[in-house]
Copies of this chain bind each other. A is one copy, B any other.
Amino acid sequence: MQRVADLDTPVMVVDLDVLEGNIKRLQDDIDSLGLASRPHIKTHKIPNIGQMQLKAGATGITCQKLGEAEVFADAGFEDILVPYNIVGPSKLERLTRLARRAHLTVAVDSEVTARGVAEASQEAGTNVDLLVEVDSGGHRAGVQTAQEAQTLARKIADFPGVTFGGFMCYPSRPPMGDLFAEARDLLQRDGVPVTTVSGGGTGAQRVSKETGCTEHRSGTYIYNDLSVLRSGKCTIDQCAMSVLVTVVSTSCPGYSTIDGGSKTFTSDALRRDDSNGYVRECPDVYLERMNEEHGVLSLSKLPAGAPRPQVGEKLHVVPNHACGTTNLHDVVYGYRRRGGEEVVEVEWPIPARGKIR
């Protein structure tokens, strides 16, 4: 029997009961809305967990980069959405190789990108479904108006090697309802059917439903994190993932220092308040600062007389950003609480970690 408490630190650990609860709760909710569920694997990057999501009822998965899609196709996943503009000969060649062994859908937001996918796919004798990405306010990608969506969709519908599927946005936001409806109407008049509208964002499945989406992409829900907690979309008990760390120094007055910093948790701020991490064993202590290998726990909110974390003590820290944290770790241990102990049940490598291309 391997105990979490005996693992060398810092190390990422996942409570499997909480993980399974998160999968079921999301799938039930999406089912009740009548949407398809297409979870985003960026949060866990582990095919075994993706299989759990499919088994629960997901219709396919979402991968942000081709390198992630390649890992999951290798593991047998057959229906993959890449909601990302694929640009350049090397990636287009990889895309068509993937399209030979999986049903691939890709989002594009420009004619030049759509044409690149179409030409590569035609030359390779494959077919790729294309969605038009629409900007829902993030201003990082996506066409701006229903008219732009219509124009690009009509071009895609005429390209060989690709099939126009519909629209995609991230995250789902209420104003998208009118835009999607208008773009649908315009394309209906053009005789171009819209079969898929893909919305996304942890906790945003109801917004996806209300804005006319047919499917919803959710990523962080699988683990949850402080960012989701602060947005009110989970409880601390629904945070499945934490990083086990060890206190290595108490020499600086007012602080206890742990052996994990930005190289363990990322510096991703997201919805940060004054803390970069929630310490399960001692919630009054907060992760005030990080360097690469040091995390500095402030004791300033610790009630008078309460014990401070001591050198050698191990703590579970729930990070700000689960997805970024996953990307820094090569392995995660799955455990269950049994009789007051956290017992390791599985050790998963994270094969889609670091797939930036």
Q: Nearest Cβ distance between residue A13 and chain B, in whole angstroms?
A: 14
* Residues of the B chain whose Cβ atoms lie less than 8 Å from the Cβ of A251: 109-110, 133, 135, 141-144, 148
Q: How many copies are assembled?
A: 2
Q: Known: A269-B267, A311-B112, A324-B263. Contact between A140 and B296, CB under 8 A?
A: yes
Interface centre among A8, A90, A263, A311 (most CB of B within 10 A): A263
Q: A64–B140 contact, CB under 8 A?
A: no
Q: Nearest Cβ distance between residue A218 and chain B, in whole angstroms?
A: 15
Q: A113–B248 contact, CB under 8 A?
A: yes
Q: Nearest Cβ distance between residue A31 and chain B, in whole angstroms?
A: 28
Q: B255–A139 contact, CB under 8 A?
A: yes
Stretch binding the partner chain, chosen from A46-54, A201-209, A285-293: A285-293
Q: B88–A9 contact, CB under 8 A?
A: yes
Please report the C-alpha to C-alpha distance between residue A68 and residue B259 in the assembled complex, in whole angstroms.
14
* Residues of the B chain whose Cβ atoms lie less than 8 Å from the Cβ of A263: 324, 327, 356
Q: Known: A9-B88, A87-B311, A249-B110. Contact between A262 and B255, CB under 8 A?
A: no
Residues of A86-104 contacting chain B, CB below 8 A: 87-88, 90-91
Q: B296–A356 contact, CB under 8 A?
A: no
Q: B357–A328 contact, CB under 8 A?
A: no
The residue from B87, B142, B330 contacting A252, defined by CB atoms under 8 A apart: B142
Q: B42–A88 contact, CB under 8 A?
A: no
Q: B255–A266 contact, CB under 8 A?
A: no
Q: Report how many residues on chain A are interfacial, defined by Cβ distance under 8 Å.
A: 64
Residue of B nearest to A310 (CB): B112
**Interface assignment of A76: CB less than 8 Å from any CB of chain B:** no
Residue of B nearest to A296 (CB): B140
Q: B259–A87 contact, CB under 8 A?
A: yes
**Interface assignment of A196: CB less than 8 Å from any CB of chain B:** no
Residue of B nearest to A298 (CB): B139
Q: Nearest Cβ distance between residue A244 and chain B, in whole angstroms?
A: 11
Contact bitstring A5-20, B, C-beta under 8 A = 1, else 0: 0001111000000000
The residue from B87, B255, B262, B323 contacting A246, defined by CB atoms under 8 A apart: B87
**Interface assignment of A329: CB less than 8 Å from any CB of chain B:** yes
Contact bitstring A318-335, B, C-beta under 8 A = 1, else 0: 000001100111100000
Q: A109–B249 contact, CB under 8 A?
A: yes
**Interface assignment of A312: CB less than 8 Å from any CB of chain B:** yes
